[in-house]
Amino acid sequence: MFIEIITVLSAAYRFSIITEKNTRLFPNTCRYFPALGQLTSSRRVDTFFQDVSVLLRNTRRVTGFLAAGGVLSHLNPFYQLTKVKENAAIQLSAATSTSFDQINTFAHEYDRGGNLTINGKPSYSVDQAANFILRDHAAWSDRDGNGTINLTYTFLTAKPAGFDNSLGTFSAFNAQQKAQAVLSMQSWADVAKVSFTQAASGGDGHMTFGNYSDGSSGGAAFASLPSGGRTDGQSWYLIDDSYRQNVSPDNGNYGRQTLTHEIGHTLGLSHPGDYNAGNGNPTYKDATYAEDTRGYSVMSYWSESNTDQNFVKGGAPSYSSAPLLDDIAAVQQLYGANLSTRATDTVYGFNSTAGRDFYSATSASSKVVFSVWDGGGKDTLDFSGFTQNQKINLNAASFSDVGGMVGNVSIAKGVVVENAIGGSGNDLLIGNAAANDLKGGAGNDIIYGGGGADSLTGGAGADIFVFGASSDSNRAAQDTIRDFVSGQDKIDVSAISTLSALQFVNAFSGHAGEAILNYNQSSNLGSLAIDFTGQGVGDFLVGTVGQAFAADIIV
């Protein structure tokens, strides 16, 4: 076995391991060569890169033995290191890249439906979950035919006729309960064609709110599905000496989630499984499908931890204050989508313009749990104020890990969010098919624009701009890297082709793997064009603000 330097740059060398026939490559032995630099092999062994120009500056040939710790020690003919002449033609070898692997892994982190089995349960797609939440076929009728379900509501001030005395003592909603109930109703009206008006009666249906004091049934609240009965629209909330969660509902706490959950029932949504709080002692084991958790539905009883999400921050749990991914799909199946909601340019997170408390972050300690529903415009997920490492995915029906939590932000099915801004941690950003504006912020970020003509800004730190297909950036829809810094940032095209090397040329000659780097010093604009197919044209093209060199390209 010998190690040959096949790339010569001003300050660094790249190596490849070439093994003779029937020579076994031992991953545990050959994984790290800290004294040598980044190694690559047909097995794509993870490796470590280090500048070795000092080691080889005055050495034509070095042989050595790789010790257990990866230290070059005494001579051994099995390992041979060769220095190439300084004026040799530049050729980049295929290097081990984990950046695309990280992108690809997170892009599929929350895959669902099909034949997937998770936690020993079938995985449901968004539509399958929505259908199951609507399995009781309960809904209000549009009596006046105006295309919207107009519901009226009353905060009860006295025990109503027919009150079930087993519930204990009646009490009226306090001011905070009333205000928070209005916000919960508003969150449902945002996503579907329903409206809520405070009035004693009227509309396509009527809702009432009240408290009760006897929690012996085991439930903290309950509501009736709309079925044509006298209890339609009623929702009740437990307040007693031992249970006070419903006294002070607020954004992100359990009391606010309870309001949103019960209003969901009054609209016709059931639990995602056949269980109720008063029926024995149900657990996640009773769930019908894997995604029956509070990470996917505000109608669920079960912790998001069952689907490997985590809404705990600072030692305290957070809860959704509004409908989540599957709830939005379900209520829209019933009543239609409200496309007028936030139909202009909207910012979610920091600097929020959404006008909803649950869509706003104000400091690094903010706890955000939400699913974006948006009617149009050019929209932005702004998580710039968070210091934790984040993973942000702009694709519809996807999840993001934001502000130190896991899977706490999602985008509803059918929604297009164009832009994302990372924080000061080492963030991973995934774009969608639209023309995205992705900004990593401070930290060492990995940015993948996907399709569309994207604007990519790494910000401070060593950033990697990843491309998974030549169609991610080409003449028809060219991406632009807005702040490329050579020697610090990288352009990773390793996932596009199985080519083992790029040959940098002045003009294409019809050979696959040829690449052209252009740069205009006066404008500080550059480009990288690659012919991956041997057609004599650049089927991949990305622009840069700042000059990129061959050493900055990962293949």
The angle formed by the CA atoms of residues 155, 160 and 166, to the nearest 5 degrees, is 110
What's the CA gap between 108 and 411, in Å, rounded? 15
Residues in the chain: 555
Q: What are the tokens at 178?
A: 């009333």
What's the CA gap between 429 and 7, in Å, rounded? 30
**304 carries an active-site annotation:** no
Distance of CA 273 to the CA centre of its chain: 26
Instruction: Tell me the β-bridge partners of 465.
Output: 447, 491
Residue whose C-alpha is closest to residue 272's, from 395, 135, 166: 135
String of DSSP letters for 211-264: EE---TTS-SEEE---SSSTTTTEEEEE--SS--TTTS--TTSHHHHHHHHHHH
Residue whose C-alpha is closest to residue 433's, from 399, 401, 468, 404: 468
Contact partners, residue 245, CB within 8 Å, separation at least 6: 220, 253, 254, 255, 258
What's the CA gap between 278 and 281, in Å, rounded? 8
Q: What is the dihedral angle through the alpha carbons of 174, 177, 183, 188, rounded to the nearest 10 degrees?
A: -120
Q: Give yes or no for a contact between 14 and 51, defined as CB atoms under 8 angstroms apart.
A: no
Looking at 262, 291, 418, 514, which residue is catalytic? 262
What's the CA gap between 216 and 196, in Å, rounded? 32
What's the CA gap between 417 and 410, in Å, rounded? 11
Stretch (H or E) spanning 186: helix 175-191
Sheet holding 149-155, edge to edge: 194-198, 149-155, 205-212, 234-238, 221-223
Q: At what angle do helices 254-267 and 175-191 cross, to 10 degrees?
A: 50
Q: Which residues are catalytic?
A: 262
